[in-house]
Structure 1
Amino acid sequence: MKKLIPIFILCVLSCQSIDTPEEPETVLEEELMIDILTDIAFIRAAKTSSRKVFDEKGINPESYILRKYGVDSIVFAENNAWYGGQLERYKEMFTVVKSNIEVSKIKFEKLKKEEDSIKKVQDSIKKATGDKKDDKKDKKNKKNKKEELEIDDAKNRAIEEEMEKARVKRFNNLSGKE
């Protein structure tokens, strides 16, 4: 029991000496940090689903986001650590990040529904106009077939007339009439 007391005191003293990160020279506003953290959350989700593409193209999306906001990676890391040292504040920031993601998800789903409905309308229009085109093709094909049949009929009549003439001529030859 006597050995446990010094260990307990050592643990208590060491727990109380947790250093919180110092405020960085350049402090990013909370709103900017929230925007950056939101974009990083999106890009990490995209990177997770398309890791191969990012790796093949050598794309580092986090550095793109930091360039987008004009923030140096060291400044961001310092601010991230500093805000992380203020647990309640950091937790509130991530609540806003999560909310931003949910709002974007709802917007995406709404856009997706609109896109799907537009595609359905376009497909319906395409089908409706496609049927008219098919009707025109069918009418044209019927007309062509009718013309072909008329030509065939005319040819058949001409052949029949020639055959009739040949029969009459043969009959006349056989009967002695010329």
Structure 2
Amino acid sequence: MKHWILIFVLILSILGCQNVERPEKPKNLISKEKMVDVLTEAYLANAARSVNNQAIIDKGIKVDSLIFKKFEVDSVQFAKSNDYYAADINMYLDIFQKVEARLVAMEKKLDSIRNMDRKRKDSVESQQNKERIIAEPKRDSLI
């Protein structure tokens, strides 16, 4: 019985291996750098959707359409280019590493802006507290 199971698994694994053909290079292939740009914007748009999707829906904003219009591509061109790049895992991985690097750089820049803003607010608040202390008259214990 064990031999039959082993033979069955072996046959399934041989039949499971198939010749996967790489998709043809599209005529209007999006360049790798432009693909990085589009995917970076797509990730930012998805983040915006996760924060306040109802506001986006209420205003009737089609985020994907805006991205495609911004980079002058259409959804079919994007899908075909995405399929083409995804067929080569190394190329696709390179694209996503660049996307990730851009998003991390954006996050660091935003964090530094937040820190500067926080320091500015703290210094303004500190100055206001000093002015308030100076402006308050000293009270005599006899009054």
The TM tier, using the shorter chain, reads 0.7 to 0.9
- C-alpha separation in 1, matches of 2:37 and 2:28: 17
- C-alpha separation in 2, matches of 1:7 and 1:42: 42
| Cα gap change, 1:114 to 1:8, in 2 (>3 Å) | closer
1:88 to 81, 87, 90: 90
Between structure 1 and structure 2, the one with the greater Rg is 1
* 1:31-80: CA deviation from partner (whole Å, max 9, x where unpaired): 11011111111111121121111122122212211211111121111111
How far the C-alpha of 1:111 sits from its partner, in A, is 0.6
- C-alpha separation in 2, matches of 1:106 and 1:128: 33
Aligned position for 1:68: 70
**Structure 2 residues not aligned, in runs of 5+:** 138-143
Residue identity in the other structure for 2:87: G
Residue identity in the other structure for 1:40: A
| Identical amino acids, percent of aligned pairs | 24
* 1:64-119: CA deviation from partner (whole Å, max 9, x where unpaired): 11211111121111111111111111011111111111111111110100111112
Residue identity in the other structure for 2:55: V
Bigger helix fraction = 1
Query: 1:12-91 to 2 correspondence within 5 Å?
Result: 12=17, 15-16=18-19, 18-91=20-93
Higher normalized contact order (CA 8 Å, seq sep 6+, divided by chain length):
2
Given the two structures, how large is their TM-score scaled by the length of structure 1? 0.64
Given the two structures, how large is their TM-score scaled by the length of structure 2? 0.78
